[in-house]
Amino acid sequence: MEQRSITQEELGRLVGLAQPAVSKRLSGERRWQVDELVALSRAWGVSVDELIGSGPGREEAAS
């Protein structure tokens, strides 16, 4: 969100959630649903793997 300079409210609009629901997901109180991650990945033009920090090369980058 920082890289894209958007608020929780704006993020919520992208995935169809109210700001309080976004806040709960970002804090770890609730988990993201697959459809929400897909909507966000489409809106930002990145893969779901990139959003969740997995995929090719992630293990190498961590070590």
Q: CATH number, domain at 37?
A: 1.10.260.40
Range of the domain at 31: 8-52
Residue 45 within a domain: yes
Model pLDDT, residue 59: 54
**Range 3-21 burial, b when 16+ CB lie within 10 A, else e:** eeeeebeebbebbebeeeb
Residue 3 within a domain: no
pLDDT in tens, 18-62: 999 999 999 999 999 999 999 999 988 899 999 888 866 555 554
Residue 19 within a domain: yes
Two tokens, residue 60: 């190498």
Model pLDDT, residue 32: 92
Model pLDDT, residue 14: 86
Model pLDDT, residue 57: 57
- pLDDT: is 44 or 1 the higher one? 44
Residue 61 within a domain: no
Q: Which of 9, 10, 2, 11 is nearest to 36 (CA)?
A: 11
Q: Which of 31, 28, 25 is nearest to 12 (CA)?
A: 25
Two tokens, residue 62: 């961590």
